Chains A and B, each alone.
Chain A
Amino acid sequence: MSNDFQWMPEQASSFAAEVDALYLFLILFSGFFTVLIAFLIVFFAIKYRRGSPANRTQRAGHFFLMELSWIAIPFPLMMVMFFWGARIYMQQFRPPAGAMEISCVARQWMWKFQHPEGNTEINDLHVPLNQPIRINMISEDVIHSLYVPAFRVKQDVLPGRYTTLWFKPTKVGRYHLFCAEYCGAKHSEMRGTVHVLEPSQYQAWLSGKSDGQAPAAAGRMLFEQLRCGTCHLGGGATGRGPSLVGLFGQTVPLQNGQTVVADETYLRESILRPAAKVVAGYQPIMPAYEGQIGEEGLLQLIAEIKSLAPPGPPAKSSPAPDADDATSENAPPGKAKVETP
């Protein structure tokens, strides 16, 4: 990084330039009003200082229209800010189809990332240039927040629930990665580096550091170890448990008449506390796995379930999921993503 004075971080993601343009608009707006108010105060303060010969004849009457204009002029400008900011914000909730999925487990005081190929890394994150990345995050203890200033994105990482964040890196380089939500003694040391690499270099990095199984493969081992298949595979609708093939992203009818979209948060809950949402037509006989599987194991199991695509024609890749289904806080948007094979 250069030693010149900086007043903005580098623009290294597809959002950065858009956010900075909006920031400049707000600086111009604020600068104009600050200078206007400061000028008027100084001007009046000098002209109407006590004892000065200025004309002080007051105009009689009310100034209702003037007061109204002080409401009517700032209001539309503020609505420009609102819509402009909201447009970018909503884009930030809608990862494009085909985004690369990286999972992230946060704990006091480290970040652990796992790539689709299985590579894991701590406090470092390697990503390929110009490839949209979606990070699916969960915390093992308190609330953390993943923040990459050069990408202009930040998202809190909660215990007990997945949140996601996506970005498209547009500039090769190394960038700060911070925890932005206060999380205890070593909060300020819970930081690392994002390395944006040329795609070929990224491939080289992946193969040079092949240290783990792909999450789905690790999940399959766990799946067999826990004997999930006894109830959930093969039998389909006739088994003791509902079939998991092609389940991810589907709408599931529940015993109480409600429905739920089978996203990551639902799958996680159903593994840990199966009795919370029982699928219509089944008995609540599954044992709870709370306390028996760690967050990383859960992410791997979910990756395995996602990979259980129905046989036959490949699942058609749906367009970028709308955030429309995010009607409750328990349903983080962008969850109904369908994996492109």
Chain B
Amino acid sequence: MNLPAAARPPRNYLNASYSLHTWLFTLDHKRIAILYLLTITFFFVIGGVAATIVRLELMTPAGDLVESETYNKLFTIHGITMIFFFLIPSIPTVLGNFLVPLMLGARDLAFPRLNLLSYYLFAFGGLLTLWAILAGGVDTGWTFYTPYSSTYSNTYVMTTAVGVFITGFSSILTGLNFIVTTHMMRAPGQTWFRLPLFIWSMYATSLIMVLATPVVTLAILLVGLERLFGIGIFDPALGGDPLLFQHLFWFYSHPAVYIMILPAMGVVSELVACFSRRRPFGYAFIGFSSFAIAVLSFLVWGHHMFVSGQSPYAGLVFSMLSFLVAIPSAVKVFNWTATLYKASISYNTPMLYALGFIGLFTVGGLTGLFLATLAIDRHVHDTYFIVAHFHYIMVGGTVMAYLGGIHFWWPKMTGRMYPEGWARFSAVLIFAGFNLTFFPQFILGYLGMPRRYHVYPEEWQVLNVMSSAGASILAFGYFFPITYLTWSLWYGAPAPPNPFGHTGLEWQTPSPPPTYNFDRVPIVEEEAYNFDPDDTQRKAREEQELPVG
């Protein structure tokens, strides 16, 4: 399409160049964010298809759709792709990559080449894992518990482990990049307490990425050494200790839960503030609670091991600390709710996702207290109660916030508006489908249905059918945004620079932004949330100005 020069949109990061290699070798954080967006959407679809087959199988108590070996591979693929290749990278690598420099008022991340390297490590790790899946799959569960993974499983454990191992470095480098950028690249006047809460949560997340990921990388390396060379580390037959793996694994994987949820909390803080037209209530408390969560997250790994044979005294300590980590999360929920008080609330799609997040995260967080309670965990550990709990946090929490964030910043990223009606409809569908899928699983879990079961006693069929029915609604709910967002790239209304009236720095540059984000270095004179509900400030200013004028 050859438009006359006057009608051609101004230069931005999307139309700066078109050839493939300018995308594949781009150092622009915004283009790298788009590469991540495409890659993790691909993995989300793979993980989603695996989950769909799992839920179809569980419609009947007998194992009639797939063999047990296939079933085990399916839930493993679902877990590994969703956690390592979708949830952990989701908000940090897509929204974080795109927004951190924009929100700070910087031209790019501190290390653009390192950022590209992160992407390729991620893509390479993902490809290896994909190859393992296609070649025959892996059946250890995403937790890789030893000695099953190190000695007994004869599936593609090593290939998958190497894939996850390489991806870990991608996480470390991304975290490092964000930390340095936040310290060094803030625009003049962009002080710490003027930063958007999204930056606070990304910073806390980056700390966890840098400090915790090396431990799981090490644990996977040790599994590899044991598998390949028979060095006795985890297998008691070789003189090792199987619980050591669980300690190392959860020392990373519990903080990893917060790698997944902290960025979501940051997104929700932005969405609630914007659509309430109010500064987030308790800004400092929300910001510091992210750090409290980051620190405490390193001290609670043993709550995954209350029935593992760990000393009961360790159990007491980990239980107590797990209750403590719930408090900063509760503080955030109360503050978001208080932000709505005396606000001026509009209900665009991102706000629907944000309110959905608060509700589902509240349920997910409160059921976490059940699991922190020692005697209850002994009963519901490794049952569907846990499955329901962490899906409320990761899907009800992280995925809702991710979708809310994608809708919110879609105009900024693509220069196009999404269709509001379809988007609202999908958000409601996802909320309803989600609850129908996962609420019955709490009941199944307390009744005693163990997780990772291919066949199950007949009396639990009704609840399983409910859950599968919800999953089919949820699948449609996810199908719609993928479709209409793609559609909007060509047919969506062109987006103004600030369609939702947020006051953050990223909205003060065109949509989509130019390659170096800002035409001139912005000078920041106020905090990110300078909202004016009911225009009271403007009226006051005008009244003051009237006599003069």
Contact surface of A with B, Cβ cutoff 8 Å: 1, 6-9, 15, 18-19, 22-23, 26, 29-30, 33-34, 37-38, 40-41, 44-45, 48-51, 54-58, 63, 66-67, 70-71, 74-75, 78-79, 81-82, 84-90, 92-93, 108, 141-143, 145, 147, 149-150, 152-156, 158-161, 163, 176, 178-189, 323, 326-329, 331-333
Contacts and interface: CB of A to CB of B under 8 A. Distances in A.
B521 interface: no
B383 A180 contact: yes
Contacts of A186: 68
A49 to B, nearest CB: 5
B16 interface: no
A56 B316 contact: no
B333 to A, nearest CB: 6
Contact of A30 (B63, B366, B382, B447): B366
Contact of A23 (B314, B446, B536): B446
Interface of B: 63, 68-69, 72, 139, 141, 143, 145, 147-148, 151-153, 235-237, 241-243, 276-277, 281-282, 285, 306-316, 319-320, 323, 326-327, 330-331, 333-335, 337-338, 340-347, 355, 358-359, 362-363, 366-367, 369-370, 372-379, 381-383, 443, 446-448, 450-457, 459, 533-534, 536
B342 A57 contact: yes
A36 B327 CA distance: 17
Given A37-B362, A67-B331, A160 B344 contact: no
Nearest to A36: B337
Contacts of A58: 342
Contacts of A159: 147, 235-237, 242
A26 B236 contact: no
Interface centre among A45, A180, A183 (most CB of B within 10 A): A180
Nearest to A142: B148
Contacts of B362: 33-34, 37-38
Interface of B is mostly: helix
A70 B330 contact: yes
10 contacts: A15-B375, A22-B373, A67-B331, A81-B323, A142-B147, A149-B379, A155-B307, A176-B448, A180-B381, A323-B313
A93 B453 CA distance: 28
Contacts of A54: 342
A70 B334 contact: yes
A141 B452 contact: no
Contacts of B139: 184-185
A153 B68 contact: no
Contact of A145 (B276, B331, B382, B457): B382
Nearest to B378: A154
B320 A19 contact: no
B418 to A, nearest CB: 20
A56 B533 contact: yes
A9 B448 contact: yes
Nearest to A44: B340
A145 B314 CA distance: 19
B340 A40 contact: yes
Interface of A is mostly: mixed
Contacts of B453: 187-188
Contacts of B327: 71, 74-75, 78
Nearest to A57: B342
A41 B236 CA distance: 53
Nearest to A25: B373
A34 B311 CA distance: 34
B452 A182 contact: yes
B448 A149 contact: yes
Contacts of B335: 67, 70
Contact of B370 (A26, A49, A66, A161): A26
Contacts of A147: 382, 448, 450
B342 A56 contact: yes
A137 to B, nearest CB: 10
B376 A22 contact: yes
Given A159-B237, A176-B457, A48 B343 contact: yes
Given A159-B147, A185-B72, A323 B312 contact: yes
Given A37-B337, A38-B359, A56-B534, 4 more contacts: A26-B376, A75-B327, A184-B152, A326-B311
B270 to A, nearest CB: 17
Nearest to A90: B312
A88 B377 CA distance: 11
A45 B455 CA distance: 44
A37 B358 contact: yes
Contacts of B447: 6-9, 149
A124 to B, nearest CB: 16
A281 to B, nearest CB: 26
Closest 6 CB pairs of A and B: A149-B448, A160-B236, A89-B374, A88-B375, A85-B373, A44-B340
A327 B316 CA distance: 13
A136 B59 CA distance: 36
B363 A41 contact: no
A108 to B, nearest CB: 8
Interface centre among A30, A88, A154 (most CB of B within 10 A): A154
A48 B376 contact: no
A7 B367 CA distance: 16
A86 B309 contact: no
A176 B458 CA distance: 12
B383 to A, nearest CB: 7
A81 B366 CA distance: 12
A188 B236 contact: no
Contact of B452 (A29, A188, A323): A188
